[in-house]
Amino acid sequence: MKRQLLKFLPLIILVIGAGAFLVLVASGRAPEHRVMPDYGPLVETLAAPTQTVQVIVEAQGSVQASEEIDLVPQVSGVIVWKTTQMEVGGFFARGEVLLHIDPRDYELAVTGSEAAVARARYQLDLAVEEAAVARQEWEMVRQHRELEAEPNDLVLRLPQVRAAEAELLAAEAGLAEARLRLGRTQIVAPFDGRVRASSLDVGQYVVANQPVSRIYSIEQAEIVVAVLGQDMEWLTIPQRLPDVPMPLSMEQTATDIQQPVAMGEGPPAAAPLTAAPRARVHTEFAGRRHTWEGFISRSLAELDARSRMLGLVIEVDAPYAAGVNHDTPLLVGMFVDVEILGSTVDEVRVLPRVALHEGDVVWVAQRDGTLDMRHAQVVRVRDEEVLVRLDLADDERIVISQLGGATQGMKIRALDEESPL
């Protein structure tokens, strides 16, 4: 009996399970059907209040010396002394004596010229006295013979006096030249500077008009940067007018020259250098970031033929002086980043570049939770940001998320707002 019951046990279990299922189905209720509202995609937004922004034009360039010259002796001779700073990399100050050329030959020339002046002055004195004697003799003859005619210059020995005066002038000129050449045996620094290259040594014979060293100024440094033509809208480049030549007619006075030029009668007045745009120069050196203050001094003479960009010259005063933002000099040859501070614009909104869509359209999240595709007036576009003028209410925000298939008036949800349940 037990064996037969075990044989039908699986079937009995299935029947009981099926019956229980049918009972549950018959006694259960259908699930409630709910329709969820469409709140739209979730987007990221930001506020963009109007503000006054100073346009910054970015550029790059290399530092170069404002002045660089060859050191050329004007007289020949042997170097008998030079300053210890006349080595490559050495520093010197304006007016400092850099080297001495053996002056003995030139001192002898000065002595000889002084003797020539003394001889010429003696000859002049002698000629003057002889002319005076000739005048006295003529007066005696005229009184004795009762002559009325005036004597000529030859009788009074005036040509001899003029010749003696000319000889004295020539001798004095020779003395001045000899003293000038003697003074040139000392070479003096024309500016505060540094030695780039030198081939000088004591005992070396140098030849006049042959370069012996190359030096550059450290009073100012220059950086030439290339700027796009479209960025020139925000920059005012100083212009210098040529000097006004003196008029040929003396009737026009200096006061007349200084009168302002009326419109249409000449070039406009030049912008003063004090109005030149300021610039900040940055570089990484010795593991630190350094900053110097500079200004635009001028532009280059022409556009670059290949890039069609304009070169601007940035000047930095005292590049070797320590400052608040740097304790290292602005060395010649450094590669630097330059920020030029241009003009300011009012009532603009600063947006990330991704917020501007094709056709100068900006997506605006309205208060009612809909998307408005609004046209903006683009003032300036940079790599990562854009300046626009856009009508925007206080409770509206800019959408910076990228949406596929975005349409005017579509529902959206802002991340900074609580979505309704």
Q: What is the pLDDT of residues 155-210, one digit of tens each?
A: 788 899 999 999 999 999 999 999 999 999 999 999 999 999 998 899 999 999 99
CATH number, domain with residue 84: 2.40.50.100
Q: Which two tokens stand for residue 273?
A: 């250098």
Residues 138 and 194 in one domain: no
Give the separation between CA 16 and CA 21, rounded to whole angstroms.
9
Give the structural domain span for 389.
39-66+219-241+270-415
Residues 159 and 228 in one domain: no
Given a cut of 90, whether residue 276 has pLDDT beyond it is: no
Q: Number of folded domains in the chain?
A: 3
In this prediction, residue 224 carries a pLDDT of 96
> Which residue has tokens 């002595």?
111
Tell me the HSE value of 354 on the side-chain side, using a 13 A CA sphere: 8
In this prediction, residue 183 carries a pLDDT of 96
Residues 141 and 227 in one domain: no
Question: Among residues of the chain, what percentage have pLDDT more than 90?
Answer: 60
Q: Between vectors from CA 296 to CA 299 and to CA 293, what angle results, nearest 5°? A: 155
- Last residue in a domain, options 165, 182, 199: 182
Task: Yes or no: say if 121 and 172 are a contact pair by the CB < 8 Å rule.
Answer: no
Given a cut of 60, whether residue 235 has pLDDT beyond it is: yes
**Residue 294's beta-bridge partner residues?**
279
Q: Each residue of 251-268: pLDDT tens digit?
A: 443 334 333 333 334 444
Give the separation between CA 95 and CA 82, rounded to whole angstroms.
14
Residues 112 and 203 in one domain: no
Given a cut of 90, whether residue 249 has pLDDT beyond it is: no
Residues 146 and 289 in one domain: no
> Which residue has tokens 């975005």?
406
Provide φ and ψ at 302, rounded to 5°: -155, 165
Residue 21 lies in a domain: no
Residue 55 lies in a domain: yes
Residue 258 lies in a domain: no
Residues 74 and 207 in one domain: yes
Q: Which two tokens stand for residue 64?
A: 């170069």
The pLDDT of 16-32, averaged and rounded, is: 68
Task: Yes or no: say if 354 and 321 are a contact pair by the CB < 8 Å rule.
Answer: no
Residues 162 and 279 in one domain: no
Residues 229 and 341 in one domain: yes
In this prediction, residue 58 carries a pLDDT of 93
Q: Which two tokens stand for residue 108?
A: 């002898």
Least Cα distance to 276 among 337, 334, 373, 341 occurs for: 341
Residue 20 lies in a domain: no
As a whole number, the mean pLDDT across the chain is 85
Give the separation between CA 218 and CA 222, rounded to whole angstroms.
10
Residue 128 lies in a domain: yes
Given a cut of 50, whether residue 330 has pLDDT beyond it is: yes
The pLDDT of 209-236, averaged and rounded, is: 93
CA 166 to chain centre: 54
- Last residue in a domain, options 157, 182, 207: 182
Q: Between vectors from CA 267 to CA 265 and to CA 268, what angle results, nearest 5°? A: 105
In this prediction, residue 36 carries a pLDDT of 63
Residue 259 lies in a domain: no
Q: Which two tokens stand for residue 143?
A: 């009184």
Rg (CA), the chain: 46
Residue 251 lies in a domain: no
Give the separation between CA 28 and CA 18, rounded to whole angstroms.
16
Neighbours of 32 (CB within 10 A): 5
Tell me the HSE value of 241 on the side-chain side, using a 13 A CA sphere: 12
Residues 192 and 138 in one domain: no
Residues 339 and 393 in one domain: yes
Residues 387 and 280 in one domain: yes
Residues 198 and 74 in one domain: yes
Task: Yes or no: say if 190 and 115 are a contact pair by the CB < 8 Å rule.
Answer: no
| DSSP element (H, E) containing 61 | strand 51-65
CA 355 to chain centre: 34
Torsion 179-180-184-186 (CA) sign: positive
**Residue 345's beta-bridge partner residues?**
53
Least Cα distance to 113 among 174, 66, 189 occurs for: 174
The pLDDT of 309-329, averaged and rounded, is: 87
Longest dimension (CA), the chain: 199
- Last residue in a domain, options 137, 159, 182: 182
Task: Yes or no: say if 315 and 220 are a contact pair by the CB < 8 Å rule.
Answer: yes
In this prediction, residue 209 carries a pLDDT of 94
Residue 253 lies in a domain: no
Report CA dihedral (115, 118, 123, 124) to the nearest 10 degrees.
Answer: 140
In this prediction, residue 64 carries a pLDDT of 96
Q: How far is CA 335 from CA 197, 221, 283, 294, in A?
A: 21, 13, 7, 15
